[in-house]
Structure 1
């Protein structure tokens, strides 16, 4: 049994905990650290939790050593860089997974189905799992680059509103009425994809449009290919990949656990159709367009459920190699 602690029990932290309880008996949720009221957290969680609860601002002061914590899921959004994430190690944890992009060059980014096979347990004590958008677009970018070649591209996401619009973005447009406005913002997805797929380094850029929907987002991947392709050819490649005939499958360390990374749909979808989907990437084949070497693919993703599913699987992947 591997002991897990979650730092930050918001939407991602709580959803990951629920999935761990449902599908990962090998993982024991031993501790939760969040500044919110313990009873309120337990009530909103809606399930019995045997974990110890803490409300410590500084992770370095948490009793991870005394509790025998093997792995911390850093889900607060505040300790994404090396100085902050390392506090969990100083407190006695063995490994840390950050549920957000990290700008620290010392912290590698690994995504299931993309580059997780490069994880080195001997030296990777802290890793990032990127963002929900990164997990959505990276598998598709990997496949399309292999078949058509990516010369340059844009990753533009239409993203449901999040708390980070008001507390993390310096962009002044993020302040007013986030649940009533379309708010242009930045996204680090393009740079994080380049970290996972270094052959695309320097070839990607993008932006984010935050929209007044509660959950489910869609990302548009537009790129200039090295050769011409029709929409039918692009869809055929992605459908075959989703069916598993060539797509990089989850690491064998996940055992019988089926990771839902890539799905291909041809029917016309709207965002509410995808609520609760645990796929990282849901390619909407009905929206694929091409113009010579210019290719556009749209990918749906539940930015909460899909990401939490991958995070729980990554926790098991890392735990099996502790």
Structure 2
């Protein structure tokens, strides 16, 4: 009789435990909204590995009474209660910082928001040290998250309410354009200050006064176009206004093309990010937010390819034009 009672009790416990357990589909991302490929779930000391499906969801078996530790490589472990997980819930794991994050535009949006974005645009065009910052990709991603950025701005100043989509875009484009125009103006002013002294420097291995005179002639002929197109070229956009100041490009001419180039650059990048994200998601069900690394790589290739092509084609022409040696 006692054996039957024990067997019955064990059966009840096993059945009740099986009923308590349930399968839940969750989506794991990090703070940059990048999907996590592989994760582990630890329950009562037992660890199970999971991989997401094609839609980015992972189906895990949980008991509402248990506590789970969700972890992934290079991420901080997250402890959650089984009862708190819901079907289709997005679980965010904190990615550990690496120096590669500085090249990720989402790093600046997550940790600095609009104010850090404005400073980066200013620094990339106005300070020598800003050449490594991700200007193009950052503006493209800012276009995707335009509503979030402007919402955060209004919330900080205590203004909340219904706004139109075009108003958010206008505010974002206007603020970033002002930051970029001021950045270029600072670069030009810096060049004007150091320019006269540089013309008295002695020729060195990396410096020739001939380069300054060549740059002066170039800016006299193509200065306006150079200031505009430099906006769309990484690294070049940092040094173009400084060189314009060094060779004493006309201030009014520089100011005009500085505004035109900056507004064109900011407008095209923000609008492309905002509407291209919606169009691609609607047409192909492809969320650019989850594949930002592709965006960054694509923009880098598109913006640097013309410079590299021009550089290498120029070298080939120079070699061909050299007379043969006897």
TM > 0.5 = no
**More contact order relative to length (CA 8 Å, sep ≥ 6):** 1
Q: Which one has the bigger strand percentage? A: 1
Task: Give 1 or 2 for the bigger CA radius of gyration.
Answer: 2
Q: Which one has the bigger helix percentage? A: 2
